Amino acid sequence: MSAPAHDTDLRAARSGHSRRALLAGSVGNLIEWYEFGVYGYFATVIAARFFTPEGGSEVEGLVKTYASFALAFFFRPVGAALFGRLGDRIGRRPVLILVIALMTAATTLIGALPTYATVGALSPWLLTFLRVLQGLSAGGEFGGAVSVMTEFAPPGRRGLYGSWQSFTVALGLLGGAGVAALLATVLSPQELEAWGWRLPFLLTLPLGLGALWLRLRLAETPAFTSEFERERPPGRELAKAIVLGAGRVMGWAAAGYTFLVVLPAYLQSTLDASFQQALLATVLANLGFAATIIPAGLLSDRLGRRPVMLTGAVLVTLLAIPLLNLLQDSGTSDAVKGVAVFVAGAVVGLMAGPGPAMLSEMFPTSVRYTGLGLAYALSNAVFSGCAGLIITETIKRTGNVDIPAYYAAATCAVSALALSTLRTEKGS
């Protein structure tokens, strides 16, 4: 029996555009996480320049910096709902063009902002406004990019294609860490704090223009343009799927930000590490993260999403406290500490690799942009955006330096329970 004509057309369209979709879909995510990484790596500098008046507390300034960080994340669900609705109605391509333009403009302007010493209390408000714009655009980025990548993916390869979205998180964070490390090496601490911190944000402009060019050349996905698969599920069913999806990725969100972004500031403020030592630890954690993402996505196409993601969630739950204790122990060698942070990143990659495809498969084409975008954005708003604020403030109040491990372990334990409800069939 021959395949239906529309199935043949869909496969042909996927084959012709899948690689271009992979590149255009993932490049925006790379820029987004490059910026969020830079903000996290320079958190102590930003706190001093924007949130700490003369004579103010450094810890209080860092808490306010993370509060601004968290606020941007809470606008992600708003962006996911707004741009997701547009993307499910008018198409993935035009909305992805809009969100990359917004992200590029907001990030570039952060590099040009006046500091507290120049304009006083206006400076943190200007920074927070731009962070809100970034949150809106980031909320619209993930759902559209994953929709494009998985809808263009060849049969049986959605896990692999979706994993590139997570892989660009690692590339973005590594890129941010690399730029920060380079600046910390070639500039004096005074130059870095005075003006050097601006350069990574200004670098977003040429990166964003390149991403915009790629997306202008992107075709609309065959699944969206087809008249098939357009039925919308009931609102209650959609809401239930969004909440369940958020629960399944909350461990990925929380542990990822704890180990990959919050770690530098934690090492500096709590364990008295230098800026260079903190950045090196972050680079190693992100290398571990990057090393497992693509293999995990590919493995999920063969074994199914559940066993791979569940393994990652359980490992973080079991290993978070022992790994952090190794970092805290002054008798631990630098090599062992390096292995510890590498392993921490690697186990998060087991969740991040299959995660995009898992979310994509939870929603039909007609609500996919909105559904998976909201699930991811809600999880990140609560468990990623608040990670630095929760960890820093809790350590400040309790004096317990194990808080990052408790936070990562607890969220991954809950995520493991949600993942246990996932059906076990292999990725399609």
Is the residue at 428 inside a domain?
Answer: no
Structure confidence by residue, pLDDT tens digits, 194-229: 899 999 999 999 999 999 999 999 989 988 988 555
* 12 pLDDT higher than 70: no
> Residue 356 corresponds to which tokens in the numbers above?
């995009």
The closest of 173, 103, 208, 213 to 341, measured between CA atoms, is 173
> Can you give the pLDDT at residue 60?
66
The mean pLDDT value of the chain amounts to 87
Q: How confident is the model at residue 59 (pLDDT cuts 50, 70, 90)?
A: low
Structure confidence by residue, pLDDT tens digits, 278-289: 878 888 998 999
Q: Which domain holds residue 352?
A: 10-419
The position carrying tokens 């909350």 is 250
Structure confidence by residue, pLDDT tens digits, 141-190: 999 999 999 999 988 999 999 999 999 988 987 888 888 888 888 999 88
Is the residue at 1 inside a domain?
Answer: no
Q: CA 132, CA 46: separation in Å to the nearest integer? A: 16
> How many folded domains does the chain comprise?
1
Is the residue at 349 inside a domain?
Answer: yes
> Can you give the pLDDT at residue 177?
80
The closest of 152, 171, 146, 96 to 354, measured between CA atoms, is 146
Q: How confident is the model at residue 3 (pLDDT cuts 50, 70, 90)?
A: very low
CATH of the domain at 298: 1.20.1250.20
Is the residue at 241 inside a domain?
Answer: yes
> Can you give the pLDDT at residue 107?
92
Q: Taking residues 46-64, what's their average pLDDT?
A: 71
Q: CA 294, CA 272: separation in Å to the nearest integer? A: 34
Q: CA 271, CA 351: separation in Å to the nearest integer? A: 28
Q: How confident is the model at residue 11 (pLDDT cuts 50, 70, 90)?
A: low
The closest of 193, 154, 167, 187 to 47, measured between CA atoms, is 193
Q: For residue 188, give the 3-state DSSP assignment.
A: coil
Angle at CA 301, nearest 5°, toward 138 and 418? Answer: 60
The sign of the CA dihedral 343, 305, 377, 319 is negative
> Can you give the pLDDT at residue 10?
47
Q: What is the DSSP string of 70-127?
A: HHHHHTHHHHHHHHHHHHHHH-HHHHHHHHHHHHHHHHHHHTT---HHHHTTHHHHHH
The position carrying tokens 């969630």 is 313
Higher pLDDT, 214 or 47: 214
Is the residue at 5 inside a domain?
Answer: no
Is the residue at 365 inside a domain?
Answer: yes
pTM recorded for the entire structure: 0.85
Half-sphere exposure of 394 (CA within 13 A, CB side): 15
Structure confidence by residue, pLDDT tens digits, 283-314: 899 899 999 999 999 999 999 999 999 999 99
Containing 354, the helix (H) or strand (E) segment is: none
Structure confidence by residue, pLDDT tens digits, 107-154: 999 999 998 888 888 888 898 899 899 999 999 999 999 999 999 998
> Can you give the pLDDT at residue 14?
46
Beta-carbon contacts of 211 under 8 Å, excluding residues fewer than 6 positions away, are 24, 27, 28, 31, 100, 104
Is the residue at 338 inside a domain?
Answer: yes
Residue type, 358: M
Is the residue at 309 inside a domain?
Answer: yes
- Please return the burial class of 397, using the count of CB atoms within 10 Å of its CB with bins 0-12, 13-18 and 19+: exposed
Q: How confident is the model at residue 371 (pLDDT cuts 50, 70, 90)?
A: very high
Q: Are 103 and 137 in contact (CB under 8 A)?
A: yes
Higher pLDDT, 223 or 69: 223
